[in-house]
Amino acid sequence: MAKSKNGNEESNYTEENIRSLDWKEHIRLRPGMYIGKLGDGTAPDDGIYVLLKEVIDNCIDEYVMGNGKKIEITVEENTVSVRDYGRGIPLGKLFECAARINTGAKYDSEAFKKSVGLNGVGIKAVNALSRSFTIQSVRDKESRTLDFAQGNLDRDSKVVSSTARNGTSLSFVPDEALFGQYRFRLDYIETMLWNYAYLNTGLTLVLNGKEFHSKNGLLDLLTQNLTCEALYPIIHIKGPDIEVALTHGDQYGEEYYSFVNGQHTTQGGTHLAAFREAVVKTVRDFTKKSFEAADIRSSIVAAVAIKVQEPVFESQTKTKLGSQSVGPDGPTIRTFIGNFIAQELDNHLHRHPETAKALLDKIVQSERERKELSGIQKLARERAKKAKIHNRKLRDCRIHFDSRDKNAAETTLFITEGDSASGSITKSRDVNTQAVFSLKGKPLNCFGLTKKIVYENEEFNLLQNCLNIEEDLDGLRYNKVVIATDADVDGMHIRLLLITFFLQFFPDLIKQGHLYILQTPLFRVRNKKETRYCYTEEERKAAMAALGAKPEITRFKGLGEISPDEFKHFIGPDMRLDPVLIDKHASTADLLTFYMGKNTPDRQDYIINNLRMEIDIVEEAAEGKDEEAVLAAG
């Protein structure tokens, strides 16, 4: 091997080093370019849901074009099937649409100018990333079916006669070789389908027999997703290519649902920035007062949906809009939204003086609370800056979520209890993307307290500061915030107290899918040849059966008992995380009152009933003379 001038070894660089990949090889080699992260289904933006979305987007485009009012989705185990009743893909081009990159009907059609998918990539990525993929088109009493495996054609039925209704059917199984042991969560899919329904009034989507339909668009979205009481009736205004719904609640922070051409832009973009700016300007002009923007938008809950020609997104997964204008010859998005809000929101406030008064009262209240907190915030920031100099609570990582680094989506903050647990995670973590924040004892139960406590309490102040979420989530420094506590009573209590803190003061962190619980194994089962880590009693029994007679069994009681070398297995690529989810129909205030408020008969009954269930498990295990099961349950 030759040496370079600086002394390093270099390999020969010849024509043989250059190769061309076919479309499916490239997609399988670089899936992140097409569907973002892979994931195992525990997060709503994991790749398996992006695959489903790509399929449904094509069905939605048919509906928008006036073809078919129903889309049927079936999810059974790992198999997903989607059927629309549109025109059906032209049979002679079925193979090209399923397996030839950059092929589609949207390149030269005026009707598709405000479509979501314009690149001819979507279902090709689904095909390439699936273990099996079947597509069938029915068109004018004829049909054709193609079967693929990892993007390779297995069978072509050719054209046959059919009595079925026109439309396209597609089924796929994401490839376990790429996604690992994944699982579809129906609640994530239901949220996706509701959004499609809100944005396409008149369309019915069916998931495993359950229907999703909306008559009032974004008004329904806000009505069904409010987790607090609205301070005034929801303002619902519509115009050509734009729809808005908004109100204010009594929660902390700002909450937005933004969409472009039917795509849920979870990371916002130019349209959301324009909307937030337009609301502030319109309210200032209406009240003739120069309120602070933060006071006007404090506790706002809003949804905004626009349609633009040939939208530009910042990635193939289309979660953030980058377009500056609504079309090649149209106004800027800022002007388009600004003019609409200035006219329609102003008109609504003039027509509904009771709404205008409630809005003004809320702004004044927010202004008063902000001023009361300003002195405390200043002292808290100074304490946080001093703590950073010699802060042993936070072991930071090199990359942060608010950077443009390609690995920013993998950034994680582990919140641990005690020095032993944080020490093990710190020694075994990936220093580029994983940070550790160590708690000192149990945090305060902040239920019913005001945000003043966030700044006065050292633990909460430093945690908020290291997350960088004081104003909003725009500067959030870690994509995943993971509560890592022992699987015992104290650990569960700490989990509950931390969830209360985030739910009370930073609910958007949970609603936007950033908060998780780390699952670590309960058992280690090993013999001289093999070690297995078990997260459940069922896994322990399976491991014992697989490893033969009398394997060594260790019951982990705390994170500190797991060595750094072992911890690498549990916070690496196969890390098991349970997302913290809020039922969209649940009231945040009611949840906190029930679990963290004064001890009530209802809560006592809930605890007693669930305790009886645990006792039954122990008794059943004891009757079966399974000593290990007794230990696990008790």
562 and 434 both lie in a single domain: yes
Q: Is residue 552 one of the residues assigned to a domain?
A: no
Per-residue pLDDT of 509-540, as tens digits, reads 888 889 999 988 888 999 988 999 888 888 89
CATH number at residue 88: 3.30.565.10
* Tens-digit pLDDT profile for residues 298-311: 989 999 999 988 78
DSSP letter for each residue of 221-246: HHHHH--S--SSPPEEEEETTEEEEE
| Residue 386: per-residue pLDDT | 60
- Judged by average pLDDT, the poorest of 425-439, 490-504, 609-623 is 609-623
CB 433 within 8 A of CB 441: no
Task: Compute the distance between CA of residue 128 and CA of residue 27 in angstroms, rounded to an integer.
Answer: 7
Shared domain check, 199 and 308: no
Indicate if the pLDDT at residue 477 is higher than 50: yes
One domain, residues 271 and 416: no
Q: ∠ CA 130-135-138 to the nearest 5 degrees?
A: 170
Same domain, 611 and 591: no
pLDDT greater than 70 at residue 31: yes
Torsion angle (degrees, nearest 10) of CA 17, 20, 21, 26: 80
477 vs 629 pLDDT, higher one? 477
Whether residue 15 lies inside any domain: the answer is: no
Asked, for residue 147, whether it belongs to a domain, the answer is yes
- Residue 129 DSSP code: T
Give the per-residue pLDDT at 627. Answer: 40
Structure tokens at 625: 């003379």
Number of C-beta neighbours around residue 362 at 10 A: 21
Position 184 in a domain = yes
List the structure tokens of 50: 């992006």
What is the distance between the alpha carbons of residues 221 and 246, in angstroms, rounded to a whole number?
10
* Rounded average pLDDT over 579-597: 71
The dihedrals phi and psi of 3, each to the nearest 5 degrees, come to -105, 140
* In a domain? residue 41: yes
Angle at 119 between CA 117 and CA 122, to 5 degrees: 60
Phi-psi region of 453 (alpha: psi -120 to 50; beta: other; left: phi over 0): alpha
Q: Are residues 318 and 407 in the same domain?
A: no
Q: What is the rounded average pLDDT of the residues 529-553?
A: 89
* Residue 324 and residue 303 share a domain: yes
Name the pTM for this structure: 0.74
Selected residue with higher pLDDT from 485 and 310:
485
Q: How confident is the model at residue 472 (pLDDT cuts 50, 70, 90)?
A: confident
406-416 pLDDT tens trace: 788 889 999 99
Query: Mind listing the pLDDT tens digit for each residue in 252-282?
Result: 778 899 999 888 888 888 999 999 999 999 9
Looking up residue 324, the CATH number of its domain turns out to be 3.30.230.10
Position 586 confidence tier, pLDDT thresholds 50, 70, 90: low
More confident site: 422 or 620: 422
Which of 183, 213, 243 is the C-terminal boundary of a domain? 213
Q: Which pLDDT value is given to residue 1? A: 47
**Lookup: tokens for 591:** 């949840």
569 occurs within a structural domain? yes
Question: What would the pLDDT profile of 181-196 be if each residue is shown by its tens digit?
Answer: 899 999 899 999 999 9
Exposed, middle or buried: residue 227 (CB in 10 Å: 0-12, 13-18, 19+)? buried
pLDDT tens digits, one per residue of 195-229: 999 999 999 999 999 999 999 999 999 998 887 78
The pLDDT value recorded for residue 23 is 78
Crossing angle of helices 186-199/218-225, nearest 10°? 140
Residue 442 lies in a domain: yes
Both 191 and 230 in one domain: the answer is no
The residue segments making up the domain with residue 53 are: 23-213
222 and 151 in one domain?
no
Q: How many domains does the chain have?
A: 4
Between 566 and 136, the higher pLDDT residue:
136
Residues 447, 347: one domain? no
Beginning with the edge strand found earlier in the chain, give each strand of the sheet holding 242-248 in spatial order. Answer: 235-239, 242-248, 300-306, 255-260, 263-264
CATH classification at residue 401: 3.40.50.670
Residue 304 shares a structural domain with residue 447: no
Residue that finishes a domain, picked among 195, 213, 231: 213
In total, the chain counts a number of residues equal to 634
Listed range (61-75, 250-264, 285-299, 612-626) with the worst mean pLDDT: 612-626
Assign 3-class secondary structure to 11-54.
Answer: CCCCHHHCCCCCHHHHHHHCCHHHHCCCCCCCCCCCHHHHHHHH
The domain boundary, picked from 161, 178, 213, lies at 213
Helix (H) or strand (E) holding 367: helix 353-389
Whether residue 186 is found in the same domain as residue 266: no
Tokens 């962190």 correspond to what residue?
509
The pLDDT value recorded for residue 631 is: 37
Cβ contact 399:431 at 8 Å? no
On whether both 48 and 159 belong to a single domain, the answer is yes
Q: Is residue 530 part of a domain?
A: no
